[in-house]
Structure 1
Amino acid sequence: MATRGTTTASRTVRGTSSGARLVGIDAARGLALLAMMATHVLATFESDPQLTPTWIGLAFSGRAAALFAVLAGVGLALSTGKQQPLQGPELRAARRGIALRALVIGAVGLSLGGLEVNIAIILVHYAVLFLCVLPFIGLGVKRLLAFAAAWILSTPALAYLLRPWLLSADPPLRLGHNPGWEDLATPARLLGDLFLTGYYPVLQWVAYLLVGLAIGRLALSKAAVPFLLVAAGTVVAVSSKWLGIAMMEDWGGGRALEAQIGDPAYPLESLLQVNLAGVDQSGSVWWLATSAPHAGTTLDLLHTSGVAAAVIGVCLLLGRLGEWVELDLLLPIRGIGAMTLSLYTAHLCIMAALHNQPLAPGWTVDGVYWAQALGMLLIGGVFAALAWRGPLEWVTHAANQIGRYQPAPVRQASRFR
């Protein structure tokens, strides 16, 4: 999850355009956590033979996690020079800090991998993504957008070609569970799962961080930029989703894939609307034409990146609105966004404690979600008001500071003759 680097700055410059900008980023991160939690706790399909999608699945599946990844890139850009990327020794120090922060996040993720919980935990993938984008940290907007476009266009096809080879290995290079410490003993399988066969394939997901880095390098303090993000993000999201639907329904893609699956237990129409994770997307190039959530295709990456950009733009505008009316409208939600690693970890522990256990009398699944969401809003609001870091955010911040440490140059004493 995201760490604390940008949030502290937002408190120190509250009341400025820069402060409103960072408040909006924290708020977007908080919304992403609440949306991701909804997909964990609430049903994304109805319990009928057709697996009819619920509104939770239609609205949040695939988009919440992608928003997290894009925001990770935004946070990296804001902490490494914003519009002017760091260079030279400062850039090298920033990369060391990011690497150490990633190691802490990865260690938390591996520790949580032992939990018995029916949730795909993103933290180890998140940490690997941080490491993968280190070469791009010093780039400007234009080069980042060029790399992002190339990544979105090329990596889905590469993944389509490589996945069958990894899955045909003996044993297949797929974990089938959340990564844990024990998986370090089989590095080939772990890396294969993290990059290609797992729930959050790093190979394609690097694109999200590149998009986020490009957004973070924009002049976000300018009044027009949030509107640009909303407009451009909406156009990209709508057009890519429309093209994916047209390819499936009008161009014959859906019929070809249905004939390949041939299993009524997996109704393709519902899966394309909510979640393709776990479906063997091989044997037909039509899999590359879908825009389904968690498909990892070009259209999926475009759609979810566009949604993320639009959400970020809206949150930036709400942050400015709070500045204009001199009221922190986003305090609770930005408080959640400022300590997502701690709150996400707490959420996973709660869900693990409830896993395969009957709910207490009077409780419903909806109640479990709303209790956690309201509790997080309360905790986040208190921590934000008191300018506190979350406990795990404190650790990741310390790791980042250690990595960025640069000893002062030693000055030689002047010689008097």
Structure 2
Amino acid sequence: MTSRSTAAQSGTKKGAAVSTRLAGIDAARGLALLGMMATHLLPTFESDAALTPTWIGLTFSGRAAALFAVLAGIGLALSTGKQRPLEGSALSAARRGIALRALVIAVVGLALGGLDVNVAVILVHYAALFLCILPFIGLRLKALCAWAAGWILASPVIAFLLRPWLMAADPPLQLNHNPGWEDLSTPGQLLGDLFLTGYYPVFQWIAYLLVGLILGRLALSAAVVPVLLLAGGTAVAAFAKVLGTAAMEELGGRPALQALLTDPDYPLDSLLQVNLAGVRQEGSWWWLAGSAPHSGTTLDLLHTSGVAAAVVGLCLLIGRLGEWLDLDLLLPLRGAGAMTLTLYTAHVCVVASFHLKPLPAGWTEDGMYVAHAALAVLIGMVFAVLKWRGPLEWLGHAANQVGRHQPARIR
């Protein structure tokens, strides 16, 4: 949900490559938006006693939101020097701009937090991630790789050790709702939830933005890079998922964890496949061995980061194919992806208007999703063709420009 990617438009081959590269990033962001809409509107579990996972849950849960976060890191890299990170006063100005844009996102997120809606709104967490990543913006590729590897390995362990302490507080440092304006009066509880006990734990999710910065610092316009992202991301994602499944099913992880869960309404087998958020992962080191969506483990971070890299590579390849065919194959996705903050906000507001109310006569959950997705694609295409920014993207861009402004020095 970052602002529209921009590039200098020219008739040169280099200009076309830059335009195609940015279109691919926007398209991946549009795909992430549609995936999150699917998890909001369509069931991720069947309504049977075993809570059998649906294909929506198996496909999008955990992956769509992580893709958003990785793309945020890519966007930040592209706006701060691409392969050569900014330095000195330019870097400081960029950091100010990012911080002010994060403030806009946080304000929108806190406003949405006041709605009665069965959606885990990501925006406040997203804004916190932007602020947390500021110290890393100026790092070069090797340093970023070292930080990302360390964060993926260490942050789940640290979070595992800290969560019981936070939950033992009175009251527990967990909100159990979307962050809203009223939560600013209890900053300790708000920060504990944002960083460690909430649905999108910022502490572990910093890894996604670090991965995104790495991808954004690559030569994305080079022909081989998208292929490497697709192949490498797929391999990493498959390796992490296979290893996590083996730990749970063959090495004894799932029986050990099942013994800790006494609530029959939460069948562990299904949760491990779709969504482990809401389950208190404490009492056994086995919680760190899985790759379940929204578990925040090392293997979960690796799997979802790999999926994100593969999706980005695929979108970049489709963009290059469209350029070769002289067709804008990415337009339906890149249009929505260039204004995800606006479309996501509108989507959450519409979902809130139907919360705990029957669907209109003749409507089904599938129909509601198709309507949301189709409108997002249509509106995005119109804005893309007209070269407009979304309303909230305009605000974010304006805030960024204010932060980046450097008064002329008087000599």
TM superposition score category, shorter chain reference: over 0.9
Q: Does 1:357 align with 2:357?
A: yes
Letter in 2 for 1:311: V
**In the aligned structure 1, how far is the partner of 2:115 from the partner of 2:142?**
42
Question: Percent identity among equivalent residues?
Answer: 71
How far apart are residue 231 of structure 1 and its match?
Answer: 1.1
The CA distance in 2 between the partners of 1:207 and 1:37, in whole Å, is 24
1:13 Cα deviation from its structure 2 partner: 7.3
- List, as ranges, runs of 4+ consecutive aligned residues in structure 1 with deviation greater than 3 Å: 10-15
- Confirm whether residue 333 of structure 1 aligns to residue 333 of structure 2: yes
Distance 2:284 2:355 in 1: 37
Matched, 1:249 2:238: no
Q: Which amino acid aligns with 1:295?
A: S
Distance change >3 Å, CA 271–CA 13, structure 1 → 2: farther
Aligned letter for 1:41?
A: L
> Counterpart of 2:7 in 1: which secondary structure?
helix
Which residue does 1:415 correspond to in 2? none
Shift of 1:275: 0.2
Asked if the contact 1:38–1:56 (Cα under 8 Å) also holds between the matched residues in 2, the reply is yes
- 1:142-291 aligned at under 5 Å gives the runs 142-291=142-291
Residue 198 and residue 118 in structure 1: after superposition, are their counterparts in 2 closer, same or farther (change >3 A)? same
How far is the alpha carbon of 1:262 from its aligned partner? Answer: 2.7
Q: Deviations over 1:5-33 (max 9, x none)?
A: x2x32766796111110000000000000
Q: Give the CA RMSD over aligned residues.
A: 1.0
Task: Spell out, residue by residue over 1:129-170, the C-alpha distance to the aligned partner (whole angstroms, 9 max, x if none).
Answer: 000000000011111111000000000000000000000000
Q: Distance in 2 between matches of 1:186 and 1:399?
A: 27
The answer (yes or no) to whether the contact 1:45–1:53 under 8 Å persists in 2 is: yes
- Using the alignment, how far apart are the partners of 2:349 and 2:258 within structure 1? 38
Q: Write out per-residue CA displacement over residues 271-307 of structure 1, whole angstroms, 9 at most, x where no aligned residue.
A: 0000000001000000000100000000000000000
Alignment partner, residue 115 of structure 1:
115
Partner of 2:75: 75
Q: Distance in 1 between matches of 2:332 and 2:262?
A: 47
- Report the CA distance between 1:263 and its aligned residue: 2.5
SS of alignment partner, residue 16 of structure 1: helix
Q: 1:332, 1:384 within 8 Å by CA — same for their partners in 2?
A: no
Q: CA deviation at 1:379?
A: 0.5
Specify the alignment match of 2:124 in structure 1: 124
Post-superposition CA distance 1:89-138 (Å, at most 9, x none): 00000000000000110010001100010000000000000000000000
Deviation track 1:368-408 (CA, whole Å, cap 9, x = no partner) reads: 11001111111000000000000000000000000000011
What does 1:329-408 correspond to in 2, within 5 Å? Answer: 329-408=329-408
CA distance in 2, matches of 1:207, 1:11: 33
Secondary structure of 1:119 counterpart:
coil
Q: Does residue 1:87 correspond to 2:54, yes or no?
A: no
8 Å Cα contact 2:152-2:298 kept in structure 1? yes
Q: CA distance change for structure 1 residues 359 and 145 in 2, over 3 Å: closer, same or farther?
A: same
Does the CA contact (< 8 Å) of 2:101 and 2:399 recur in 1?
yes
| TM-superposition CA deviations, 1:56-95 (whole Å, max 9, x none) | 0000000000000000000000000000000000000000
**Equivalents in 2 of 1:2, 1:254: separation in Å?**
38
CA contact (8 A) 2:10 2:16 kept: no
TM-score by length of 2: 0.98
SS in 1 for 2:56: helix
Unmatched tracts of structure 2, length 5 or more: none
| 1:166-212 Cα shifts (integer Å, max 9, x gaps) | 00000000001000011000000000000000000000000000000
| SS of alignment partner, residue 352 of structure 1 | helix
TM-score by length of 1: 0.97
Separation in 2, partners of 1:231, 1:378 = 31
Match of 2:100 in 1: 100
For this pair of structures, how many residues does the alignment match? 409
Distance 2:395 2:343 in 1: 14
SS at the partner of 2:47? Answer: coil
Structure 1 letter corresponding to 2:7: A
Task: Report the Cα distance in structure 2 between the residues aligned to 1:66 and 1:377, rounded to whole angstroms.
Answer: 21
Unaligned runs of 5+ in 1: 412-417
Residue 9 of structure 1 is matched in structure 2 by 7
Q: Distance in 2 between matches of 1:88 and 1:13?
A: 32
CA contact (8 A) 1:383 1:389 kept: yes
Distance 2:307 2:239 in 1: 11
Q: Which amino acid aligns with 2:349?
A: C
Contact kept? 1:24, 1:312, Cα under 8 Å: yes
Alpha-carbon distance in 1 for matches of 2:184, 2:361: 41
Q: Which residue of 1 aligns with 2:47?
A: 47
3-state SS, counterpart of residue 115 of structure 1: coil
Distance 2:288 2:11 in 1: 45
